[in-house]
Amino acid sequence: MKEGKTKREVLADRVYYVQRIVAILAAALIFFPAASPSRICAMINKNLSLFTSGISYGSLTAEMGRAFNRGWLSEGTMALLCAASVVMLLGIAAAGAGGCMSLGNLKFKKLGNLFSLGGVAGQILGLVLIYVSYQQVLGSSSVDRVGPMFPGGYIVYLILAVLLLVSSIAIQFMLPKPEADSEYEMESRFKLFLIFLPFAALCFVFSYLPLWGWRYAFFDYSAGGTLSMDNFVGFKWFTSLFQSQATKADVVRVLRNTLAMSGLGIATSWCAMAFAIFLNEIKNIRFRRFVQTFTTIPNFISWVLVYAIAFAIFSTDGFVNTAAVQLGMLAEGATGTNYLMDASHIWLKMLFWGMWKGIGWSAIIYIAGISGIDQQLYEAATVDGAGRFAKMWHVTLPGLIPTYCVMLLMSVANILSNGMDQYMVFSNKVNMDTIQVLDLYVYTLGITNGNIPLSTVFGMVKSIISVILLFAANGISKAVRGESIV
């Protein structure tokens, strides 16, 4: 195929790079509120992207009830704006489709370029309509209240549309006519890639794009505000971790809780292995199945339900207190103790609940490991005169140690992330001091108290340390066992 290309086609291939990059940019920017060309007045929420403006008229006009009632703005203007956004979105989608088709053969490319041209026409029409509604806003009866503004995103999209237009027209002239009898064809590697593309996009949007939010760590930002050079503060929030007394105290307290509870978890992680080894010593299959079946259930219920169970057993009128009354240990009618409001030994209690929920489940992998141990080892041990416990210690245990090491390294890498569900549901005013782990603290700081920059800093530092720990763990595993764990 390649040797048959004319000079013009080779040039067209170059221009295609421009066209595709522009199409991808235009498609990506529809999700960014900062690049929205539709925010033509201050009354439109600044968190609306072009995408949201197009698909949701309700959120576009969320703050305009008064403006409509008083006649500052006509609903027609906003409907026009919404329609313009839809036209823009359709145009961008068409241009995207055109870009996809450009991966095919000549006939496909021709069709794709028609899509691109149509898409660019849609985008330009949308931009014109937005401009018209902007002019209407400017003519509002109460200009200072409505606050018309010319969005920066408009210029961005204008530039993109012009680039797309120029490249599409150029390509239209450069591509030779396809042979009359040729069919739509595409190399299978590109076909597969196009099927894959939407999923890659989803992955990008939900896993990579949040990293873009790290920029909040460098600004003095409060919910609903904007980011600009005026409130750029550099590393202020990072240094405040060490300078502000209150923050420092918080950090120390939260880190102490986090490390203590993760540490206890790691220190007792061998329990699951012991659970499996001792369970293996039980001869009766039915009993063993019974134990396995029922000790795994708690793993499948949420932490909220675990709390509900704790509530049923340990609260003022729960099982423990009711039973105490019936056994005569507590006077009838007396108020029982609410064990959940007791702040002592919180770390151990959390460890207990964690084990209750997880041990049966964690043991499964070791149980499977035991059945994989070579029976000849046991026979050899018997010949050497090893008793039951000697076999457990010298054969079963060494057989499980490699699995245990992997699990241990993983939990070391996760030492800062013990999740927030468990601690959130069990927390109350009394035990907050000792139960608040990093994840819970970040949640309270960011969502409840609205300190977005500082909580972002915590998230950033935690992520970076976790990745470093993971690679360190992986390095250790490689060096010691010659196998990587990630």
Closer residue to another protein in complex, CB, 80/392: 392
Q: How many residues bind another protein (CB under 8 A)?
A: 105
Distances from the Cα of 51 to the Cαs of 80, 430, 468, in angstroms? 15, 45, 37
DSSP 122: H
Span 322-361, contacts to another protein by CB under 8 A: 322-323, 325-326, 332, 356, 360
> What SS3 state is found at 148?
strand
Residues from 405 through 424 that contact another protein (CB under 8 A): 417, 420-421, 424
Site for another protein (CB under 8 A): which residue of 172, 256, 443, 476? 443
CA angle in degrees (0–180, nearest 5) for 31-34-40: 105
**Window 104-163: residues binding another protein (CB under 8 A):** none
- For residues 74 and 356, what is the distance between their CA atoms, to the nearest angstrom? 62
* Nearest to 40, CA basis, from 69, 58, 60, 26: 60
Member of 88, 452, 473, 477 binding another protein (CB under 8 A): 452
Nearer to another protein, 74 or 474 (CB): 474
The dihedral region occupied by 140, where left means phi > 0, alpha psi between -120 and 50, and beta the remainder, is: beta
Of 172 and 280, the one with the shorter C-beta distance to another protein is 280
Q: Residues 69 to 108: which contact another protein by CB under 8 A?
A: none
**In angstroms, what is the minimal distance from the CB of 440 to another protein?**
10
Any contact of residue 270 with another protein (CB under 8 A)? Answer: no
99 C-beta neighbours (distance < 10 Å), count: 24
Nearer to another protein, 74 or 463 (CB): 463
Please pick, from the candidates 149, 249, 267, 467, the single residue that binds another protein as defined by CB under 8 A. Answer: 467
- Exactly one of 192, 249, 401, 472 binds another protein (CB under 8 A); which one? 192
Distance CA 102, CA 14 (A): 12
296 is a contact residue toward another protein (CB under 8 A): yes
* Residue 245 binding another protein, by CB under 8 A: no
295 binds another protein (CB under 8 A): yes
CA atoms in the 13 A half-sphere facing the CB of 370: 20
Interface positions, 6-65, toward another protein (CB under 8 A): 31-33, 47-49, 51-52, 55-56, 59
Residue 205 is a binding residue for another protein (CB under 8 A): yes
Task: Considering the complex, state which of residue 32 and residue 270 has its C-beta at the smaller distance from another protein.
Answer: 32
Q: Which of 70, 290, 335, 342 forms a contact with another protein (CB under 8 A)?
A: 290
C-alpha torsion sign, points 135, 140, 144, 145: negative
SS3 375: helix
The closest of 146, 6, 2 to 81, measured between CA atoms, is: 146
Handedness of CA 61, 64, 67, 68 (dihedral sign): positive
From 128, 143, 200, 341, residue interacting with another protein (rule: CB under 8 A): 200
Written as one string, the DSSP assignment of 197-233 is: HHHHHHHIIIIIGGGGGGGGGGB---TT----GGGB-
Judged by beta carbon, residue 126 or residue 298, the one nearer another protein is 298
Residue 411 or 466 with smaller CB distance to another protein: 466
- Helix (H/G/I), strand (E/B), else coil: 231: helix
Per CB under 8 A, 207 contacts another protein: yes
